[in-house]
Structure 1
C-alpha cells in the first residue's frame, strides 16, 4: 500500500539524516584534533520493484558516510622539535607497542604527528602509537632504508643515545718562525784541529764540522782545512754500537770507504774520528733518537731545548683532551729548522719521551714553506698515525698508552695550505692560530627531525649524529583506508597495499618539523549542514505523521 511505503520512506529519511547528524557531530567534536579528516554523509535513493502503470510505492533513502582521508589540512607551527606534519601524500607508520615487533603485529597509519618521548625514550603520539623508521647502524652510523620490507622498520628510540665524542683528524697551523733566530749550539759541532796524513803521505791540519740531518744517527759532515771546505758528505752510525755504517759523499749516492780530499788522495775515517759517533755525541749535537727535543721535555737536564714550540690540542676517540707539540730548532742553514712532533710524555707506550716523528723543515727565500722533509714519513696529505692502545702490540710505531684504552688515530697536519700556514719571516716567532676538528665528550641536549625524515641527536659539544630516518607509507587509494581509534587507519582491499618510502621521494611528502596538521573540519560548513540536516529530519518525521493521519482517516470510514 502506498501509504505504508510513504511511512517507511519517512523512517528511512529519519535514519539517513541521523547518520548525517552523527557525521557532522564527529566533525564538530574533532575540530581541534590533530590530523583529523572530516566525514560526510552522502544520500542515495532506494527504489521498490513495481510495474510502470501500477500505483507508485515509495522506496526511501539511505546514507553512505565517506571520510576525506586524502584531503590535507593546514599546517600549524609549534614549539616542539618532535611535532611533525607531512607536506604532501603519505602517512606515518606506527605500532601499538615499541618492542618485540613481529610480522603479525598490526601496523597503523596516521597523520597525527604530535610525537613525544615516553619513559623509555621511544617516540609516540598522543594516541599512544609508536613512530616507526629505519635505524642507524650502531657501528658505522649509516642508515639504509629498505622500502620492500615492513619488518625492517623499528620503533625510533632516542633514550639509548648516550654521550658522544669525535676524535681529531685534521689540524691547520698558522704560525711564523723568526728567520734571524740565533742558531743553537746543539745545531752544529766543530772538532778541534786534527793533524792527519793522507793516502799519499802528506800531512794536513783538518777540522770536522757536524750538523744534524733531522734523521736519527745521521749527520752532515764537512771537512775544513783552515777556512777552506775540502770535502763533505753524510755519515750514518749504528744506533747500538755507534760505529760508522756508511759515508756518502755529497753529490753522489754511492758510499765510499774513505774521505776524498781531491787529486785521488783520501784520508781515513779513523784519523778524523768520523769512524765512531763518540765525538759528535760528546759535542751535544741534536739527534732525534739520542739527543732530542722530546728528551728535553721529559727531563730538562737532557736533550736539546727547542727554539720554539707550537701546541696542538687534539681529542682522542673517547673525547679525552691530548696535546701534540711541534718542537722546532733553528738549523745552521739560513732556511732550515729541525722539527719534532711529540705527545705528552707518558701518553705513548713505546716511547717514554712521547716522540711521534721528526724531520727537517725548509723554507724558500721568500719565507714560504718549501718542504716538511721526512717529518710525516712521506705521507700525502701530511699526517701522523698513532696506533690504538694494545697491551699485546710489539710494533715500534707510536702507540697510545695501554692505560688510556683509546683507539688509533690518524691526524692530518696542514702546515702549508691552512690560512697563513707556517712561514719564516723576520719577525718574532708567534702562533697566530691552531684550528682542529674533533670534540670533547658531549651530552645529549636535543632531538631534531629534518624534512628528509632524519632524526638527529644534538650534543652539547656541537656534534650532530643521525640515529634514524622516519618512514612514510603511501597508498593508491588512501580514501579506502579503514579508520580506527587514535585518529589512525588500517589497510583494506579498497585502499590497496602500502608503499614504504623515504620522505620527499617517490611521491611521498616531505616532513615539516615543528608543525602539526590541523583538522580539515570547517565549522561554517558543518553548522550549515547541521541546519539542513535538522530540517530534513523534521520533514521526514512530518511524512510519518501525515501518513499516520491518512491511515486514521481510512480506518474511520467504517464508523
Structure 2
C-alpha cells in the first residue's frame, strides 16, 4: 500500500468511526425513550488489492454498518397507569397513524407499524394512543363467546355507551334454618308456639294480608334480603322470611314492598328429613318447581308494584338445611343473584392474556379487545420510523401472530441503550478516530518529506 493508500484507509476509518459516533450519540439521546432499541455499529474491511502471497497483501480500507438490537429486551419497570403495557419476550404492538378528521370522525392510514413503546392512554375519542402518536390496534371480542373476531386487527376504540342492564333470572339462596325457631311468639313451655300463627286469618297456604303482618312477623324469622333488577335495571329489594308450619316443614315468603292489600307473598313450602336435609318443595299459587327439583320459580315476582318477571329461587347443591341452632335464627345465610343495572365505563385494565377489560359502575367487567403481538422472521430488517416504531420490509417478512411473548400490565419497557456501555464505546471510538487522524497526519508528513527531497 502506498502513502496515498494509507491516507485513503485512514480517511475511511475516520468516516467509519464518525458513523459509530452517530449511533452512539443517538443511543445516548434515547437512553430514556420508552421501547427504544439501540443501534450498534459493525466494522468491515475492504481489501483494495490482493497478492498471490501473504507478503504482498495489504490491509485495505474499512466501512461501518449499523446493527439492529430489536430482539434485545429492555428493562421492564412498573407503572401505576392501568393502560401502560410492556412486552416480555418477542413481538411488537400493532399500531397505525391518524390520517384525517372527516365530519368530526378520525380516519386512519392503511399502513401498519410496530412498536415496543406501550405507554398507551385513552384520548378524548376513546382511542388508545402512545406518546409518539401511534394508535393501538387489536381484535374485538365477541361478547358471548369471548373469542376474537376476524383476523385483521383494527384500531381500538373504547365506546362510551353504557353496558345494558340485565334482568335477574336467578336468586341463589344458602341458609340453615333452625330446627326450633326463636320467633317472638316462641315459648318452649308451650308446644307449637314457634309455628306460624294461624289462630286468626293467616293460613299455611295463602299470602299474608296487610292486616295480618304483625301476627306474621311475630311468628316467623328473617331470611335476609337482596337487591334484584328488572329488565330496565330498576333495583328491587327482595326481603325473605321463613315461617315453620310443622315439624321439619317451612314456608318461604317474600315482601310485597308496600302493597296495599298483600304484605308478603308465599313462595312455597319446604320440608326436611329427620337428618335436616331438604326433602321436597311444594310451590304456592302459579309458582313452579325448577328443573332438578331444587328451586322454586317465582311467577312474576313483584315488589312495590314493579314486576321483575319469573325468577328462580334456588337451593341447589344442598344449600338449604335444617339443623339445630342455639339462637334459633337462620344462619350461614348467603344470597346471590345474576342481574345488574346499566353501567358506565369507569376504568380499564389489561390482563395477562393481553385483553382489555372494561370496569363498569355496576361492578361488572367485560373483555372488549385482544391485543395481538406481531413477530417477524427477520426483525433486524425492519425499517425504523419515527417514534420508536418500525415498518415491515420485503426482507423482514410479513407480520405473524400467536408466537410472541407475554404482555405485562402496569409496566413499561425501558430503552435497551445502557449509558455506561455507550460511554465505554464512546471512549474507544474517540481513540480510534484520533488514531486514524494521526495516520493522516503522518502520511501527510511523509509526502512533504518526499517532495522536499527534490528541492
TM-score by length of 1: 0.65
RMSD of the alignment, in Å?
Answer: 4.0
- Aligned length in residues: 430
Residues 1:97 and 1:335: Cα distance change in structure 2 (over 3 Å): same
Is residue 2:235 matched to residue 1:321? yes
Q: Is the 8 A contact 1:293 1:303 kept in 2?
A: no
The higher radius of gyration belongs to: 1
Higher deviation after alignment, 337-346 or 474-483: 337-346
Task: Identify unmatched segments of 5+ residues in structure 1.
Answer: 188-282, 387-396, 502-506
- Which secondary structure state, in structure 1, belongs to the residue aligned with residue 438 of structure 2? helix
Residue in 2 that maps onto 1:113: 118
Distance 2:71 2:332 in 1: 57
Distance 1:185 1:464 in 2: 46
Distance 1:426 1:400 in 2: 32
- Please report how far the alpha carbon of residue 16 of structure 1 lies from its aligned counterpart in structure 2 after TM superposition: 0.8
- Which secondary structure state, in structure 1, belongs to the residue aligned with residue 95 of structure 2? strand
Q: Which of 135, 148, 151 does residue 149 from structure 1 map onto? A: 151
Residues 1:41 and 1:328: Cα distance change in structure 2 (over 3 Å): closer
Q: How does 1:154-553 map to 2 (within 5 A)?
A: 154-157=155-158, 159=160, 167=168, 169-176=171-178, 178=180, 180-182=191-193, 186=198, 286=203, 288=205, 292-294=206-208, 296=209, 299-300=210-211, 305=216, 307-308=219-220, 310-316=223-229, 319-326=233-240, 328=242, 330-331=244-245, 333-341=246-254, 343-344=256-257, 353=262, 358-365=267-274, 367-374=276-283, 377-379=288-290, 380=292, 382-385=294-297, 397-398=299-300, 410-414=311-315, 417-418=318-319, 421-423=320-322, 430-438=329-337, 441=341, 444-459=345-360, 462-501=363-402, 507-553=403-449
- Please report how far the alpha carbon of residue 525 of structure 1 lies from its aligned counterpart in structure 2 after TM superposition: 2.2
Distance 1:184 1:514 in 2: 58
Distance 1:106 1:22 in 2: 29
- Please report how far the alpha carbon of residue 556 of structure 1 lies from its aligned counterpart in structure 2 after TM superposition: 4.4
Residues 1:314 and 1:285: Cα distance change in structure 2 (over 3 Å): closer
Residue in 2 that maps onto 1:44: 44
Distance 2:428 2:137 in 1: 43
- Please report how far the alpha carbon of residue 470 of structure 1 lies from its aligned counterpart in structure 2 after TM superposition: 1.8
Distance 2:398 2:304 in 1: 56
- Which secondary structure state, in structure 1, belongs to the residue aligned with residue 416 of structure 2? coil
- Please report how far the alpha carbon of residue 287 of structure 1 lies from its aligned counterpart in structure 2 after TM superposition: 7.4
Distance 2:368 2:8 in 1: 62
Q: Is the 8 A contact 2:252 2:270 kept in 1?
A: yes
Residue in 2 that maps onto 1:135: 140
Residues 1:164 and 1:83: Cα distance change in structure 2 (over 3 Å): farther
- Which secondary structure state, in structure 1, belongs to the residue aligned with residue 37 of structure 2? coil
Q: Is the 8 A contact 2:226 2:336 kept in 1?
A: no
Higher deviation after alignment, 515-524 or 36-45: 515-524
Encode CA deviations 1:400-423: one digit per residue, 9 max, x unaligned. Answer: 6999697x56434228823xx342
Distance 1:28 1:480 in 2: 22
Q: Is the 8 A contact 1:113 1:125 kept in 2?
A: yes
Residues 1:478 and 1:400: Cα distance change in structure 2 (over 3 Å): farther
Residues 1:402 and 1:8: Cα distance change in structure 2 (over 3 Å): farther
Q: Is the 8 A contact 1:121 1:160 kept in 2?
A: no
- Which secondary structure state, in structure 1, belongs to the residue aligned with residue 132 of structure 2? coil
- Please report how far the alpha carbon of residue 66 of structure 1 lies from its aligned counterpart in structure 2 after TM superposition: 0.7
- Please report how far the alpha carbon of residue 44 of structure 1 lies from its aligned counterpart in structure 2 after TM superposition: 0.7
Distance 1:467 1:124 in 2: 17
Task: Identify unmatched segments of 5+ residues in structure 2.
Answer: 100-104, 182-190
TM-score by length of 2: 0.79
- Which secondary structure state, in structure 1, belongs to the residue aligned with residue 211 of structure 2? coil
- Please report how far the alpha carbon of residue 430 of structure 1 lies from its aligned counterpart in structure 2 after TM superposition: 2.5
Q: Is the 8 A contact 2:301 2:310 kept in 1?
A: no
- Please report how far the alpha carbon of residue 17 of structure 1 lies from its aligned counterpart in structure 2 after TM superposition: 0.8
